[in-house]
Amino acid sequence: HPDRVPGPLADVKEQCARVFSRLSEAHQTLTDIQKRSRYINLLREGVAGDEGQAEILRVVDASTNFQKAEVFLKRNDLAQAEEFCRKAVTGDDKQADYHALLAWLLSMKPDQQSEVATKTFIEDLTRAIGLNKMCERAYFYRGMLHKRLKQDEPAVKDFRRAFELNPRNIDAQREVRLFDMRRGGSPSH
């Protein structure tokens, strides 16, 4: 991982980040049914052509921009995260994760906290789920926005789905447990 590059190798950290990004994208492509299918179709159409190469570069660049957006989100640099996420969506608008993250980033802006704006972002996340029913991120973020509107039932339903898709999503698990405790039931696992 680029963050674990030892001090003496600091001059190659950027190259490590690029390699790590490509490896992450390859892993995501191979493990996601839709992405893998799209990649296989690109290969069948003939990657040797300029158009195929351009498509692959566009998709890889979009993935790299998305990963940068995630890094900036973790650093709480929402403006940079939004900028890179917009580039990712522009580069590959068929990725549910890209749309989900962009909707979430926009929903966190102080001037986008109203009920009307929040409902719009919930619709955006629902469209992202339409692109990929397995988009854990979209379910989790939609759950958070339902929670913002104090819509407990749809929120916990989304948190449960996010947790089903990724049992390591401790935030979704925590939200389900909190809901169960408030309701007086036993915590779900």
pLDDT above 90 coverage of the chain, percent: 56
Contact 42/74 with Cβ under 8 angstroms?
no
pLDDT above 70 coverage of the chain, percent: 89
Tell which residue, 30, 27, 48, has the closest CA to residue 39: 30
Give residue 41's region: left, alpha or beta (phi > 0; psi -120 to 50).
Answer: alpha
Please tell me the distance from the alpha carbon of residue 126 to that of residue 143, in angstroms, as a whole number.
11
Tell which residue, 146, 129, 145, has the closest CA to residue 137: 129
Please tell me the distance from the alpha carbon of residue 88 to that of residue 108, in angstroms, as a whole number.
19
Q: Residue 72: which pLDDT band, with cuts at 50, 70 and 90?
A: very high
> Which tens digits make up the pLDDT trace of 4-43?
777 777 777 777 777 777 777 777 777 777 777 777 777 6
Question: Residues 6 or more apart from 28 whose CB is under 8 A from it?
Answer: 35, 63
Q: Is the pTM of this model over 0.85?
A: no
Q: Residue 45: which pLDDT band, with cuts at 50, 70 and 90?
A: low
Average pLDDT score, the chain: 86
Please tell me the distance from the alpha carbon of residue 57 to that of residue 13, in angstroms, as a whole number.
22
Q: Residue 186: which pLDDT band, with cuts at 50, 70 and 90?
A: low
Strands (E), the chain: none
Tell which residue, 49, 88, 42, has the closest CA to residue 68: 88
Please tell me the distance from the alpha carbon of residue 160 to that of residue 139, in angstroms, as a whole number.
9
